[in-house]
Amino acid sequence: MTVSNQIILNQNIITSDVFQVFLFDEDGQNVLGIDEGNLKQSLTIELVNTSGKNIELQTISDEISSNNYHFCFLFRPGTILPDSLNEITLKQSTEGWKLQQQDHTFYCLLTANASQNRTIAPGAKITLTLENISAAPEGGSRGTRVQIKYNYLNYQGSNEDLSGNRLQYLNIVNQRGKKTVPLHVSCLGSNTILNDGTENELTLSISYLYNGRLPLKIASEQDIQETLTNLNLTENLKLTSLEEMTEINGETSIMSLHEMKEMSQEKLDSMIGNLLVVTADKNKPVEGNLKLKGIKEGFLDQATRLSISFDVAQENNDAANWALIEANNADDVNISIMAGQDHWLFDGRHDLGLTPQWHFICKNAWQAVEAKEILRLKISNFKTLLKAGFANLYVRYENVPGYWDGQIIVPIHKGPLVYREMTNEIGSVGIGTDEPKAKLHIKQKEDNHAAIFEGGNVGIGTTTPEATLHLNINNSQSEDSILLGNTDSKGLRLRDTGGAVDIESLGVPLYINNSGQNTLINSENAGNVGIGTTDPGDNKLKIQGKTEIAGNLSVTNGLVGIGSANLSKEPLVIRARERQESLIAFEDPQGRKKWHIEQNYGGNKPGLNFVETGVKDFRLFIGKGGNVGIGTGNPSDKLHIKGSLRVDGNLKIQGTEPIIIRRYNNLGDSINYNTNCSASTYTAAIIGFRALNGDIKENDTGNIIQVYMYINSGIWYIRADFRTHKNNETWYVDVMFIRNELVKRIGY
């Protein structure tokens, strides 16, 4: 037991409670375990100062009593094994503290001569550890509460006594048998719920995975008859079927748990008569013994129980990142047993703080001898507005014969869409709805777009849309396909009249702009349209006045002319204005002209001129005849660059490399080697050579060394020879081939 002023909470926290209390075992869990023997455990009580002030432990007499203590821990009867109460001690490392036990209560004080600090700073903690605790196995897994009292304390600088108490929850869990239970829990269809406030529904399946060794078993009637012993019962008690209730001499009866749960307290009291305790014979253990605690204690110890819970977010709390739903939606959630689950009974809902828990128990004898689903639950009225992501749903199992108590975590995804199974369908996706009626079902929320499609076809009235939006509605002449606005004198109606498509403005003109000055006219005979004119002539569309297109303009199988262009076959023809050479200008987003293209149709430089406006002409010039100039308006060759030329990458002429360097190896002695390189394409030069395995023939006259390129029948050859004694040298020659366009050849 220690006193620590290590701050673990924010010192600025102000709360109405003096202490925040934590109970936990060696693994940091608020549990005590039970097994077949006397399991000795440690229970740590941690008290954190949350008052925001310094708290002092007063110096009092070292004689502990029910009125003289600093801290007191009260356990409910039946929580701790009675034989172990007097064995409980403080942790051996404790100095200056005394502990005294009276029945189920433990008193503790810091002695007057203790050397430990008697002041608890805001956010600091006191840690007290009780050892050699054995939880009572009667009752199996259950929950209980521990009362923590404090006395003879005061705020620093104050003479006023500070006393009070807190209740803290503690779990008693089964740790008998194997640790890993052969259960599998999952959501059928999908584990996703919408996080937009829509009501969601999930199906939870709990299955037993048979391993051939230890079957999951709930006690049968025969098991109970063989293993139960009668304590303090009349001789007339007789065991009958768990689903029946039999009176014996009007005094004593045995009945099913289901019947006990459903019966009124008055009826139960009258029926149980002299029945005080029915318990299992520890000398004849079987899997799944049914145990009934004394009725006078006010509760029943059920057999195997499954509990469902999830994390709940408080208001103004960061739990939205990991909780499943908000506290104000938790009360609406309903978890029920689905049809065909005859072995199970709903055992009520109990809230542990903000966390709701639903409990289900076996109501009759039952045994699973193969892998199968044992329970299916429907979770409905799930509503959440928390952030998208995963949260946990907890399935806790208790009193599963042969296994420890524990829990299985099922991840639930909060998101904008859900996947649900449909009858005779693979599945459907819902957005804004938990019950999709089609492969994709979108339910629009207020102030929200129903759908935005980027690509793909959408069909209304057809399963095979042939366009981006395809409406296939067989209407009579009096019905509408599309209606914008009202059906009275203000609106636009588009309908299929059977032989044509009719567009009506419902008794009012159809205008291009709000002022109504430019009327859209349709020529009934030719189908030509005029904007700004009532006489479109032979044109499908004639616009009288300025035209601005904010978007794409596409012309299919037609010709476009700008200016008074003569259209014949070119898709786009631009005619320059009189005495103006500029054809196209390019502006930046601020409307400043940066580039323009001119058609120089006069003067001594006819051609197409690309101009950086206000900076320089002839950035690119395509002259009459096809010569191209960069930086010059008078190109004298096919490409004329005024300035430097830089090439980053490969340079090829007519698809081949301009320069090739090749090494020819092991050519032998006195060679005339055909390179197969055309002299009409490349010019060749030897740039290096060496001759191996020979010696100079110094006592004779003649050609000493010959290494050169020559042309024979339009092909480049290598000539290499050296006067040696044995004529056995081996030649290595490096040749450079350069495209003829890049060199000037002289002497060949």
Residue 687, both tokens: 């740039």
Q: What residues are paired with 135 via a beta bridge? A: 80
At residue 449, the pLDDT reads 67
pLDDT at 368: 62
Average pLDDT of the chain is 75
Q: Cα–Cα distance between 338 and 206 in angstroms, integer? A: 12
Q: Is 108:72 a contact under the CB 8 Å cutoff? A: yes
- Per-residue model confidence (pLDDT) at position 507: 58
Is the CB of residue 427 less than 8 Å from the CB of residue 420? yes
Say what the pLDDT of residue 366 is.
60
CA neighbor of 287 nearest in space, from 363, 445, 399, 189: 399
Contact 170, 148 (CB under 8 A): no
Token couple for 391: 């949260």
Q: How many CB atoms lie within 10 A of CB 662?
A: 12
- Ranges of the chain whose pLDDT falls below 50: 1-16, 212-262, 271-302, 477-478, 513-514, 516, 523-525
Radius of gyration of the chain (CA): 48
User: Which tokens in the block code for residue 155?
Assistant: 């705020």
Which residues make beta-bridge pairs with 522? 529
Position 484 scores a pLDDT of 67
| pLDDT in the model for residue 426 | 63
Please give the single-letter amino acid code of residue 139. Answer: G
Position 736 scores a pLDDT of: 94
> CB–CB of 418/412 below 8 Å?
no
629: Cβ–Cβ under 8 A, 6 or more apart, which residues? 618, 620, 621, 622, 623, 635, 640, 641, 642
The pLDDT, as a whole number, for residue 239 is 34
Question: Can you say how many angstroms the Cα of residue 84 is from the centroid of all Cα atoms in its chain?
Answer: 50
Segment (H or E) for 203: strand 200-208
pTM for the structure as a whole: 0.42
Position 237 scores a pLDDT of 32
Phi-psi map region of 409: left, alpha, beta (phi>0 left; psi -120 to 50 alpha): beta
pLDDT of residue 469: 80
Say which amino acid occupies 361: I
CA atoms within a 13 Å half-sphere pointing along the CA-CB vector of 333: 32
Q: Are 364 and 243 in contact (CB under 8 A)?
A: yes
